[in-house]
Structure 1
Amino acid sequence: MSNEQIAVIQFGALKIELPPEGVTLCVVQPSQRGVVKRHPAADDVEKLPRIGAEWNGGIYAGIARGDDGQPDYHLILLPGQASDVNWKAAQEWAAQQDGTLPTRREQSLLYANLKDQFAAAWYWSSEQHDDDAYAWCQHFRNGTQSNSPKSAALRAVAVRRFNYSII
């Protein structure tokens, strides 16, 4: 990545470099009465798209919390769905979309924020069950998560992740 593609924002000693695909920085400071006010410098920073908006080749689902100390990240639902695929075929299909199957936590976020993008059906997650013959899945009619034999014919979507890093 060349320096021409990086936007730099500097506040005193704090220097923030933003990649061309952008990130969001919300700078807030508490008032004396405990009400959070937007810092005036935050107006100069690109805002996140609204949930459900097209963004970076898919639909913006929101910010997912990183696992085990990993940074938080933006989650994008990629276009298209696969139907009647086993778990291995679902993973291969997602890779062909230049994405991956969502984790169980990401499926919960997709259910909460983009339920209207899904059929009322079972969708594979990327997570294998403790029993090697099973993998986790979620039903998008009611949000139930369960496990299913990897040979079952379910639906699949692909997601892409963008790191939520500002420094």
Structure 2
Amino acid sequence: MQQIQLPPLVDGQIYLHGRINKHGDVEHTVLVAVNDKRLPRDLQREWAKSVGGVLYNRIDALVMYNEHLELVKPEAYWTDDDVEWDPAYAWCQYFSHGDQIIIHKSAELRAVAVSRFTI
């Protein structure tokens, strides 16, 4: 069986997952930081950029829920995914019970920053 070559990580980073993108390349996702300060989503996006990442998406959130639950509190965390039918809302991940729901972007939630890259 062929294995994916894991990329080198910087101290404090945690490898979350790799997936094959539409071009056939392996896209790696690495956890950069967790922000337990509650902020509106736009401010959490700014925070993620300030630590060298982006907010994680709904797929990353499911991986975290299933494989890295110890890294977050049993609270709600923003994702970077907008709600397609209402731009005032975005998706969040509840780590207390695993639900992903939509909530107004002005709500103050925690956040996870990730880095994505191909090698």
How many corresponding residue pairs? 116
Structure 2 unaligned residues grouped into runs of 5+: none
Question: Who is 1:77 aligned against?
Answer: 31
TM-score by length of 1: 0.62
1:62-83 CA distance string (max 9 Å, x none):
22343xx143312111134142
Point out where structure 1 has 5 or more consecutive residues left out of the alignment. Answer: 1-25, 29-45
**Is 2:6 aligned against 1:48?**
yes
Deviations 1:54-102 (A, max 9, x none): 9334111122343xx1433121111341421001001000000110001
Distance 2:91 2:50 in 1: 21
The answer to whether 1:141 aligns with 2:96 is: yes
Using the aligned pairs only, state the percent identity.
31
Deviations 1:105-131 (A, max 9, x none): 111112122111000000000011120
Which one has a larger percent strand, Structure 1 or Structure 2? Answer: 2
Paired letter, 2:79: S
CA RMSD of aligned residues (A): 2.3
Report the counterpart of residue 123 of structure 1 in structure 2: 77
**Partners of 1:64 and 1:123 in 2: CA distance:** 22
| Bigger relative CO (Cα 8 Å, ≥ 6 apart) | 2
For the pair shown, the structure with the greater C-alpha radius of gyration is 1
Equivalence for 2:111: 156
TM-score normalised to the size of structure 2? 0.84
